Amino acid sequence: MDRKPCDLSSIFYPMLSPLKLLLVAGARPNFMKIAPLIHAIRANNAACNGSGRSIDFRLVHTGQHYDAKMSGVFFQELGIPAPDHDLEVGSGSHAAQTANIMLAFEPVCMSEKPDWVVVVGDVNSTLACTMVAAKLGIPVAHIEAGLRSFDRAMPEELNRLVTDALADLLLTPSADGDDNLRREGVPETKIRRVGNVMIDSLVSQLAEADAVGTLQRLGLQPGRFVYVTLHRPSNVDVRENLKVIVHELACLSEQFTIAFPIHPRTRQRMGEFGLSFDGHPGIRPLEPLGYLDSLNLTRHARFLLTDSGGLQEESTYFRTPCLTLRPNTERPVTLTLGSNRLTSVATLRSDISQLLAAPARIGQAPPLWDGRTAGRIVDELLAG
């Protein structure tokens, strides 16, 4: 009889029930971290792994991001299935958004009774769902654990600290993450360095990205444009900072075309502060981009100017120089090994001159940023 490998596991491990996971995604940077995990779970189930144990998962979308361009497009491009639970919490103050996610997530935990709640990154959804699960006694696995900017003025830093203090399995992308956790007294037994799961999405989508013709569509020449994204409150919520940034971009646009997909927060603030790019044809203000378009811009830009966490890592993978408009980064390996440099409003011009004097591609990808992190995460969860 023609048996599939899966059938054998039911003979050798008849009592093993599937491991049940509740996967949480809420905001744009979460989706490229959850997608590879879902693909790795499906691969595990198809092969039934060495242990023969399959994984049953439910996907929760908190609705922290809800616009098609901030959420839906990523589900479509990354092959993420429709969420089993759509909490639709929407925007709000930090307290309101976090509390609304907690209220909506608690009954999901109680009805699904998972073996693990799996959270990614550092957004309010990460924090809220971790607190709910921990209080219900459900083990939490945190993907992208241990990152620290040491800047408690950043909401994400508070989210990281609380999440890591409560989580039971801390899956780190790089050695600095392990060191930070040890310093905070996290027992060694909880820490596993698995690599950077976001790079799994990048590696698996490169061919798709090549096929979508982003540069032609936007009228850009490889190496002749700068890819800009800005959304951190410290840059865009402070009138004087945003005014100087807009002025600097206008100057830079004399030399390079600027591709600038504008985050909803930034668009709102530019309106409130009466700022615009009128009269500067070298600047292309765009709607937020999908994942594949963003990969193409990162790969082919002369350099990036950003305050995003994810783009610091993706540019490092492509070796594209990146200026991060922040006083610190929770991703120091992008500075020590990668192509990232910190900049400030005051030093932006001289930092750009320095960057342009250096080779067009610099740095290297850190260890374990190899496209196979999600498989290692699945192994750790199964080892439990």
Buried b (16+ CB within 10 A) or exposed e, 152-174: eebbbbebbbbbbebbbbbbbbb
Q: What residues between 71 and 90 interact with ligand UD1 by CB under 6 A?
A: none
Q: How far is CA 367 from CA 191, 195, 376, in A?
A: 17, 7, 14
User: Which is closer to ligand UD1, CB of 19 or CB of 236?
Assistant: 236
Helix (H) or strand (E) holding 200: helix 197-211
287 contributes a contact to ligand UD1 by CB under 6 A: no
Q: Is 320 in the site for ligand UD1 (CB under 6 A)?
A: no
Decide: is 231 part of the binding site for ligand UD1 (CB under 6 A). Answer: yes
Residue 33 interacting with ligand UD1 (CB under 6 A): no
Task: Give the range of 64-72, 142-150, 240-248, 346-354 binding ligand UD1 by CB under 6 A.
Answer: 64-72
Of 85, 142, 231, 300, the catalytic one is 231
Which class for 335: exposed (0-12), middle (13-18), buried (19 or more C-beta within 10 A)? middle
229 DSSP β-pair partners: 306
Applying CB under 6 A, among 49, 64, 163, 315 the residue interacting with ligand UD1 is 64
Burial of 7 per CB tally in 10 Å (0-12, 13-18, 19+): exposed
- Compare residues 257 and 315 and give the one whose CB is closer to ligand UD1: 315
Active site (annotated) includes residue 61: no
Question: For residue 149, which phi and psi values (nearest 5 degrees)?
Answer: -95, -15
Candidates 45, 47, 56, 66; binder of ligand UD1 (CB under 6 A) is 66
By CB under 6 A, is residue 282 in contact with ligand UD1? no
143-182 residues in contact with ligand UD1 (CB under 6 A) are 155-156
Please state, in angstroms and rounded to a whole number, the distance separating the CA atoms of residues 117 and 136. 11
- Under rule CB under 6 A, residue 193 binds ligand UD1: no
What residues between 90 and 149 interact with ligand UD1 by CB under 6 A?
91, 123-124
- Start-to-end CA distance of the chain, whole Å, equals 35
State the nearest-atom distance from the C-beta of 294 to ligand UD1, in Å.
Answer: 12
Of 44 and 64, which has the nearer Cβ to ligand UD1? Answer: 64
What is the C-alpha separation between 80 and 39, in angstroms, rounded?
9
